[in-house]
Structure 1
Amino acid sequence: MSPLTRLPGSLASLKLNWTTALVVSVCVVDSVTIAYDGSLMGSLNVMETYHNYFQLTTTTTAINTCATFLGAILVGPFTGILIDRKGRKSGLWAAVAINILGAVLAGSAINVAMFIAARIVIGVGVGLGQTAASTYVAETTAPRIRSFALGLYFSCWAVGALLAAGVSYGCSTLEPSNASWRIPSYLQGAMPLLIVPLLYYIPESPRWLAFRDRREEALEIISKINGKPEDNEDVQLQFQEIVTSLNHEKAQSMSLKAIVRKPNRRRLLLALSIAPLAMLTGSNVITYYFGSMLTQAGIGNPTTQLQINVVLSSWQLVVAISGSSLAEKLGRRFLALFSLGTCSAFFYILAGLTARYGTAGDKAGTYGTVACIFLFLGAYAFGITPLTAMYAPEVLSYNMRANGIAMQGILIKSCGVLVTLAFPYMLESIGWKSYIINASWNILLWLYIWFQWVETKGLTLEEVDRIFDGEVLVGAPVESAEKGEVVVSEVKET
């Protein structure tokens, strides 16, 4: 095991140089872009003008909400291929352009069909951006800060949610003007615009460059992201590990058949398990249909609901960043088990409070229900939010990372479609019992994580590979640091 495995585990030990700060900035802005959409729909769904303009029913409301998931599912099979062939930055460029186009179409929609089409376009950009950004950040950050950077990616989801909630709340004062929903829709394109100048300065993934034998460029970037000269021992060791591992992977086929074969099958299953963890634990029910939940809890005023949504987003941001900063110290398994367990407990409590006080007009009961929603989202944000982007890139090898994350994205969006289409009807027909069903499902997922997840804290991506492959890749010393040449001596079974 290399010295790189002994990594600091606290936020205080993280030192971001200029290159790394740019990489993290891109992932943050991309996360804000994606999150803005979810919170936007939650806010629009409680605006009367939005409902009246499109003459929405329960069905069309659900389709409007899940349209971005459908777009992401459509593009999912191609995202991994694109960023593997053209580079991680190319994927980010394409996502930016598509998201801006979708925002313009949504803001100018003249009927429900155009609005749905615009949201499908946004979904294409979101799907492409998620695959490209998480792959890029995992491969272009120093080992000591990888977990924090990846955790920050989805932690900043709360920033986007807060912006959308704040903008929507402010624009709600314009009702009954259609500007109340058009302005927030147009502003969905503002975040992608911020990425454009950053993309000119960020480097390409050093692992993507090394895989294509552009080793001098790869070594230069590894030096920059570590903030050390190219001949530094740690830089040389990391570079040698990367090149040796990638040379080994080049000899392996990554066809669909190979991806589902041991040990890759286990990698893929672990990556895919993030989808139900992120989407089916109950958070999306609150995100998209918090208006219905609060109405059932006794808070029916749309303005009050929007105010609560703003505070919820702020709360999630603080807790998610805390969880991200502790990921390297606590470990991935602990974060997943703790968050999922407490989410389940709070969902059971939420069901009981809603059943008892939802229509009773009891102020204390209503406050208790709202507090339970806050506690649930806090528990979710602490562990599951950072893990959504953190765990899959770590357990997937380079050869299957882009396609594996794309497959994970398809499953995440499919789960999102299930939530957005099924829960409006569940909430209408069985109300608080929906929370009981959801919480009971969470127990099964908790058991899977307990028995199947592997711990990745403190390991480089190449060292994580060895957990699954049972191989130690041994490379000869770097012959020329300036030229970036590495000779692979042998591959040994452990």
Structure 2
Amino acid sequence: MLKRSRTGSWMPAWVPESTTIVAVLLLLCSMSQTTTNGCDGTMLNGFNILPSYNNYFKLTNATKGLNTASIFIGGFFGLFWSGMIADRLGRRLAIFWGSLVTIVGIILQTAAQHIAMFVIARVVLGWGFAISGVASAVYLSETFPTRWRAWGVGLLNNTYYIGAFFAALVTLGSSHLESTWAWRTPSLFQASFSVFSIMLLPFLPESPRWLIAQGLYEEARIAVAQTNSNGNITDPVSTAVYKQIVDTIEWEKKQGRTMSIKEIFKTPTSRKRALIGGSVGPFSCIAGNIIASYYLGAELETAGITDSNSQLKAVSISPLANVVLNVWCFFCSLIGTQLSASWGRKPTALLSQGLLIICLFIIGGLAKLNADNPSGASQSLIYGNVAVMFLFQGFYSIAWTPLLYLYPPEVMNYAIRANGLALSTLGLNGLAVFLVFLMPIGIGNIGWKMYMINGGWDIITFIIIAVFWVETKGKSLEEIDALFGEKHSTINNVEEVRKGIEKVDVGQVDQQLQEEIETKNV
């Protein structure tokens, strides 16, 4: 049964009455952005080894890096607008326009006739993905049922591997074509996820936090009920959630908080929250995953597998290795999501980062042994190195895959949430532009030493996480404010309301809310 809901924009919504169905649709719509990204990573990894792609564009190491990194250039500049668009137009419309721009970029990429057109297309693609990616993460964080947020938002970036899985299959199937459609087919396939996302938007409510910020209280109350209590606006849990949101956003308005990007730097608390939440993107980028995500061929060369046909057949394009790798990473990301929900965000990040440091030094050490005696290196040494590379990808997925979109929106309050997440992703894309372009050159020039350097800065990251990150497990977005000394609501804990530990008088709360709204309108 669908119920028409006002959304504060030209795009209406017909929302299912079941909270479970709404939650599934929210996740499917939002994850379309990350599956597109996962598709791109695996696709370009295959392209960089595919002869038809390299020969068509006559690529060198520099132009190969430019082709690959150009999506991050678009993402870098798109992020200057993404937070503003999500705040002004609403989360749903930001996803819509971002997905539309992404589709345009994919069409141009598929039709590329030369390097310049390919690069421009990927810049456009990155621009659209930046807008829809930020909006999706903020939207899901603000709208997903409170009790399932850790799993729901954690799964958002986990679905990167679903996109990667399908891209591996499509790239495998088209790689045998003797025309440029060997790489154009997987490129066109990317658009399917954005099309799917646009198709789901009419069946989803707008973020209740955005609606309240626009003064649309009745619409927000309905949206909270739709996402927490099967549309029942008198349910104690949805009433508690709604009261927390109203209290917090009204407090921010009284404090003169705006949606400007300047708000991030306005107060010591805002700066602290932005720095902690914004660190996730850069930390995930410098962890070492860039090499395996885009330059697996170069990584295999340091391990002793130098023949391109062997790379293509044995590892990169083979269904056994590439598909198993994505399944392995997806499995590890699910473990990480469970750990984040039950153990906490900070301990999960420290576990993952510690394992990555160990793997990087082992890979570097084994690569050095191979470099010192390439002709005498044993097969066990080579395959041992490949095995650690395989483990590295999974260990990376334990924390950085689920936390990339889960942790920043939790740490940042409503006034800075969209722009703060954009800042985090901006740092990721800025570093990615640099590292994606640098890595093939660095690996080619200094080989195994790149892993040692990467391991060194990962140790610094580990220390920063241990000292400065805060734990957000088990709290609503508004309850996290109390960790930074900003408690605004008389409702203390939504989960305790759900369990019956904390009682909520729905009639009394409704009266309080009505009085607050009437006072505000006087």
TM-score by length of 2: 0.87
Code of the aligned partner of 1:431: G
Summarize deviations over 1:54-108 as a string: whole Å, max 9, x none: 0111111111111111101111111111111110001110121111111111111
- 2:15 paired residue number: none
What are the Cα deviations for residues 331-361 of structure 1, in whole angstroms up to 9, with x where unaligned? 0001110000100100100111122236345
Aligned-partner residue type, residue 303 of structure 1: K
> Secondary structure of 2:63's match?
helix
**Cα RMSD, aligned residues only:** 2.0
Tell me the residue number matched to 1:208: 210
Contact 2:337/2:402 (8 A) holds in 1? yes
Which amino acid in the other structure matches residue 160 of structure 2? W
Within the alignment, does 1:348 sit opposite 2:361 as a pair?
yes
Amino acid of the structure 2 residue aligned with 1:253: R
Pairwise mapping of residues 106-255 of structure 1 onto structure 2 (< 5 A)? Answer: 106-174=109-177, 176-228=178-230, 229-251=232-254, 252-254=256-258, 255=260
Any residues of structure 2 matched to 1:81-92 within 5 Å, and which?
81-92=84-95
Q: CA deviation at 1:462?
A: 0.5
2:76 maps to 1:73: yes
User: What does 1:267-286 align with in structure 2 at a 5 Å threshold?
Assistant: 267-286=273-292
Number of equivalenced pairs: 474
The Cα of 1:41 is off from its aligned counterpart by 1.0
Aligned counterpart, 2:384? 368
- Maintained 8 Å contact 1:17/1:227: no
- Give the Cα–Cα distance (whole angstroms) in 2 for the partners of residues 487 and 356 of structure 1: 73
Change in 2 beyond 3 A, CA 1:295/1:16: farther
Once the two structures are TM-superposed, the CA of residue 479 in structure 1 deviates from its matched residue by: 5.6
Deviations, residues 190-210 of structure 1 (Å, cap 9, x unaligned): 111111221110111011111
SS in 1 for 2:490: strand
Residue identity in the other structure for 1:49 = S
Rounded to whole Å, the distance in 1 between the matches of 2:290 and 2:30 is 22
Hey, what does 2:352 align to over in structure 1? 339
- 1:417 counterpart (433, 453, 460): 433
**Does residue 312 in structure 1 map to residue 325 in structure 2?**
yes
Q: Is the 8 A contact 2:352 2:396 kept in 1?
A: yes
Q: Give the aligned partner of residue 8 of structure 1.
A: none
Moved more, 446-455 or 305-314: 305-314
- Between the aligned partners of 1:487 and 1:361, the Cα distance in structure 2 is 78
Give, in angstroms, the shift of residue 278 of structure 1: 1.0
Deviations 1:366-389 (A, max 9, x none): 221111011111111111111111
1:440 aligns with 2:456: yes
Q: Deviations over 1:428-466 (max 9, x none)?
A: 000011000001100001000000000000001001012
2:75 equivalent to 1:64 = no
Q: Is the 8 A contact 1:278 1:384 kept in 2?
A: yes
**How big is each residue's C-alpha offset from its partner over 1:93-126, in whole Å with a ceiling of 9 and x where there is no partner?**
0121111111111111111100001100100111
Give 1:326 shift. Answer: 2.9
Give the partner amino acid of 1:352: G
Give distance in 1, aligned partners of 2:516 and 2:406.
29
Equivalent of 1:389 in 375, 384, 405: 405
Does structure 2 retain, via aligned residues, the 8 Å contact 1:95–1:126?
A: yes
For 1:34 and 1:286, locate their aligned partners in 2 and report how far apart those are by CA, in whole Å. 15
Aligned residue in 2 for 1:3: none
Structure 1 unmatched ranges of 5 or more: 1-14, 490-494
Contact in 2 for aligned 1:339/1:380 (Cα 8 Å): yes
Paired residues of 1:478 and 1:484 also in contact (CA < 8 A): no
Shift of 1:268: 0.4
- What is the TM-score normalised by the length of structure 1? 0.92
Please give the alpha-carbon distance, in whole angstroms, between the structure 2 residues aligned to 1:76 and 1:434: 29
Q: CA distance change for structure 1 residues 257 and 98 in 2, over 3 Å: closer, same or farther?
A: closer
Which has the higher mean CA deviation after the structures are superposed, 371-380 or 309-318? 309-318
Change (3 A) 1:361 1:181: farther
Shift in CA distance, 361/370, structure 1 to aligned 2, threshold 3 Å:
same
Distance 1:117 1:93 in 2: 21
Which secondary structure state, in structure 1, belongs to the residue aligned with residue 65 of structure 2?
helix
**Corresponding residue of 1:322:** 335
* Post-superposition offset of 1:311: 2.2
Q: Matched residues in 1 for 2:94 and 2:42: separation?
A: 24
Q: Percent identity?
A: 32
Q: Which has the higher contact order (CA 8 A, sep 6+)?
A: 1
